[in-house]
Amino acid sequence: MNLSIIIPIKDERDNIRRLHEKLHAALVPTGRTFEILFVDDGSIDGSFAVLEQIARQDVSVKIVRLQRNFGQTAALQAGIDFSTGDILVTMDGDLQNDPADIPHLIDKLNEGYDAVLGQRANRQDRFWIRKVPSAIANWLIRKVTGVAIKDMGCTLRAMRRELAEALPLYGEMHRYIPVLAQQTGARLAQIPVRHHPRTAGKTKYNLSRTFRVLLDLITIKFLHSYLTRPMHVMGLAGLFSIGLGFLSLLATLWMKLREGIDMTGNPLLLLAAIFVVVGVQFISLGLIGELVSRTYFESQGKKAYAVRSTLNFEKMRSGKAA
């Protein structure tokens, strides 16, 4: 199989047939062999019945039905696990992504990139509820992670299988696929894609996701920068806190000797004790983090690096064997 289209579905009954028709119209002219993999993420509106009917009529359609609603990240991971294509394309099932853009993504991918991401041009979403929070989140993610991708939230993407299988997708990390991809050393590109208004079904987006994005961003930053050296962030915070504690203690002593202010009634003495205790806790967390990090890598045989390619290793092995 050359191409796998992975589409998580959650209550999109009225969009599925039109999406299937548009996918065929976009993919058949390319001449590529393809499969369309729908992942039913616990739909309760009859989406699975529609998917069953389509699958009986079209052998290129494959369906993975999850036992309950696990979320978009889990549905994407299931799609990757059950797909067979060398190139994986992910997209939403609400018809806001345009299947006609898929050939453009693949053409760009063939220029030597590991992943090509869509950037929604003339985005058709509500201004205050979707566009503004998304713009703020994209700006913040770029600043914190250093990833230059402008539209992190566009789910229309094309990736090579090796990259997709290497992505650590859990929780709600689907929002950070561009960041996770760059952290593996992947070569990324982004091109404009069309974006249509939703005409059927209900959006699953709400403002509460904005706060979850911030929490996940902290996790992403820590895992990217400090997974192999947690003491560097925890220990630094601990030393800084202990330093503030000693400064508060010195200020307390100076006020006692210079001004005659009673140390026991001076709030700076209590503040000094708190800073020192907090600093010791940070350093302790850093030590625990170091132990967990070593366990993570050593017990599972994981490496702290990723290799793109090698040369002449087979010859060396055959030479040694001889």
Q: Give pLDDT, residue 321.
A: 44
Q: Do strands 87-90 and 34-40 pair parallel, antiparallel, or not at all (unpaired)?
A: unpaired
Q: How many CB atoms lie within 10 A of CB 318?
A: 9
Q: How many CB atoms lie within 10 A of CB 69?
A: 16
Is 38 in contact with 90 (CB distance < 8 Å)? no
Structure tokens, 297? 């890598």
At 205, is the pLDDT very low, low, confident or very high (cuts 50, 70, 90)? low
Percent of the chain past pLDDT 70, that is, above it, reads 87
Q: Give pLDDT, residue 316.
A: 45
What's the 3-state SS for 44-110?
CCCHHHHHHHHHHHCCCEEEEECCCCCCHHHHHHHHHHHCCCCEEEECCCCCCECHHHHHHHHHHHC
Most confident of 61-70, 205-214, 295-304: 61-70
Round to whole Å and give the CA distance between 160 and 105: 12
Report pLDDT digits (tens) over 231-252.
Answer: 888 888 999 999 999 999 999 9
At 158, is the pLDDT very low, low, confident or very high (cuts 50, 70, 90)? very high
Structure tokens, 261? 């202010």
Report pLDDT digits (tens) over 247-261.
Answer: 999 999 998 888 888
Round to whole Å and give the CA distance between 202 and 94: 9
Is 217 in contact with 144 (CB distance < 8 Å)? yes
Cα angle 163, 169, 170; round to 5: 170
pTM of the model: 0.75
Q: Give pLDDT, residue 83.
A: 93
At 115, is the pLDDT very low, low, confident or very high (cuts 50, 70, 90)? very high
Q: Give pLDDT, residue 57.
A: 93
Q: Give pLDDT, residue 210.
A: 65
Average pLDDT of the segment spanning 255-279: 88
At 262, is the pLDDT very low, low, confident or very high (cuts 50, 70, 90)? confident
Round to whole Å and give the CA distance between 211 and 209: 5
Round to whole Å and give the CA distance between 141 and 218: 10
Identity of residue 221: K
Structure tokens, 13? 């009954």
Most confident of 180-184, 202-206, 316-320: 180-184
Mean pLDDT (the chain, rounded): 85
> Smallest Cα–Cα separation from 77: which of 90, 92, 68?
90
Which SS3 state, helix, strand or coil, does residue 35 take?
strand
Any idea which fold 3-226 has? Spore Coat Polysaccharide Biosynthesis Protein SpsA; Chain A (3.90.550)
